[in-house]
Amino acid sequence: MPLIILAVGIVLLFFLIVKVKLNAFLSLLLVAGIVGFAEGLPIDKIIPTIEKGLGGTLGGLAIVVSFGAILGKLMAESGGAQRIAMTLINTFGRKRVKWAVCLTGFIVGIALFYEIGFVLLIPLVFTIAASAHIPLLEVGIPMAAALSVTHGFLPPHPGPTAISVIYNADIGLTLVYGALIAIPTVIVAGPLFYDTVTGINPDIPKKLYNPKVFTEEEMPSFGISIFTALVPVVLMAASAIAKLTLPKDNVAYHVLTFLGTPDMALTIAVAIAFFTFGINRGKSITEIMKVVENAITAIAMILLIVGGGGALKQILIDSGVGKYIGDIVGATNLSPLFLAWGVAAVIRIACGSATVAALTAGGIAAPIVSVTGVSPELMVLATGAGSLIVSPPNDPGFWLFKEFFGLTIKETVRTWCALETIISVMGLIGVLVISMFI
């Protein structure tokens, strides 16, 4: 019966989001309350449990997600992202331009939400395709693949960061494992996958964009841009390596662990960005704070949705459903990693949103970690991989890709849906391979 109630709750969540068009945050809270009541949680405990889950999740995420958005916005508004893109393209040359765009998307995507990164880079994609006289999708597919891979596998993105909190995973170690999976995945799903796409060559839809093109003088240097963008990644990776290689009584261990916590790493990166992308580019503090305000406004609802996912997770734990699921899985031979991937994949196909799929699956699978002893970092990546599969038409990303590249539904399925599925399956394979060595 607990599983039946949970299944009905998930179906209700899909119905509210997809059919009723109710906001995902409100849907998650409503379903959390209903499931909690149906599972036998005392009625006077439902609201405190929701508050506990929401607050606990956002407590570990508010700074990370907010500062990540600020860093990305400053990079976009200063011309730093354009500088990274154009330098890499000039370095790689015409014949390897798709690899340059892929690398650009990978670097820029670490600090930007998928939709923001897509809208930011699409004018550059159009400009590159037109000036180099190459097919639009030759640069479009690698760019989209790189953004999607970072969105699914690499903190400080909100998806993998939020799931890390749910599973109590080490975010730095998740970043290291995620990078090991992300690099080969983006190569296959981007440049190599494009080579298999035939018969699709859309024109540049010139009326769909009005690019902000920075002059040479307006943009920061490539070194400054790449340094600022990668500061949080380097600090978190250094922290993860320190935890794996240094004794706990070593001073360097404590220093690197402190600097590599996501909150501290992004705080340092934003402080640097205020200077490199702001003051050093002639912006006043007032202008910089306006960029900060716009960045926070853009991710406010994402934060609430993440908190709603945490509320549902807490309901499942406090009502005993989590332990029930964990006991069942513990008595079977089914890999927890495959289970997390499968649950996230089913939810993704049903409701469209990768974020909702990842958070809901995380809430369902969280109790399995303590029961089975599986690596929480690999559970994060398995869940993230499952949440990317297919990208059905109820996913806004489907229409974003279709409309900007001027594709038909069939062409979008052959390109966008295919590359998302490649990313998802390769992510699962990568997680299973790494699990054999740890």
137/410 Cα distance (integer angstroms): 15
333/266 Cα distance (integer angstroms): 40
- Token readout for 228 is 């600022």
- Token readout for 232 is 């949080």
- Token readout for 271 is 């402080």
Nearest CA among 289, 48, 310, 32 for reference residue 158: 310
- For residue 131, the model assigns a pLDDT of 66
Nearest CA among 73, 74, 98, 72 for reference residue 85: 98
428/153 Cα distance (integer angstroms): 11
Nearest 5°: the CA angle 180, 185, 188 is 140
Name the residue type at position 392: P
Nearest CA among 257, 214, 258 for reference residue 75: 214
- Token readout for 59 is 């407590």
Burial class (CB in 10 A: 0-12, 13-18, 19+), 95: exposed
381/164 Cα distance (integer angstroms): 9
- For residue 85, the model assigns a pLDDT of 75
- For residue 206, the model assigns a pLDDT of 61
- For residue 322, the model assigns a pLDDT of 65
Show Cβ contacts of residue 85 under 8 Å, excluding neighbours closer than 6 positions. 100, 101, 104, 108, 121, 124
- Token readout for 52 is 């506990």
Half-sphere exposure at residue 325, Cβ-oriented, CA atoms within 13 angstroms:
28
Output the 3-class SS for 219-263.
CCCHHHHHHHHHHHHHHHHHHHHHHHHCCCCCHHHHHHHHHHCHH
- For residue 337, the model assigns a pLDDT of 94
173/204 Cα distance (integer angstroms): 41
- For residue 112, the model assigns a pLDDT of 66
Name the residue type at position 270: V
- Token readout for 392 is 């059905």
Mean pLDDT by 10 residues, the chain (438 residues): 82 83 87 90 92 84 81 84 80 83 83 69 75 86 93 81 88 91 95 92 67 79 90 82 85 92 88 95 93 85 79 81 65 83 84 78 83 91 94 78 86 94 97 93
Nearest 5°: the CA angle 405, 407, 409 is 140
199/394 Cα distance (integer angstroms): 26
135: left (phi over 0), alpha (psi -120 to 50) or beta: beta
290/220 Cα distance (integer angstroms): 19
Nearest 5°: the CA angle 351, 355, 360 is 70
What's the whole-model pTM score? 0.72
Rg for the chain, CA atoms, rounded? 21
Instruction: Give the alpha-carbon dihedral of 398, 344, 177, 197, to 10 degrees.
Output: -30
- Token readout for 129 is 């395709």
348, 388 in Cβ contact below 8 A? yes
Half-sphere exposure at residue 429, Cβ-oriented, CA atoms within 13 angstroms:
9
3-state secondary structure of 394: coil
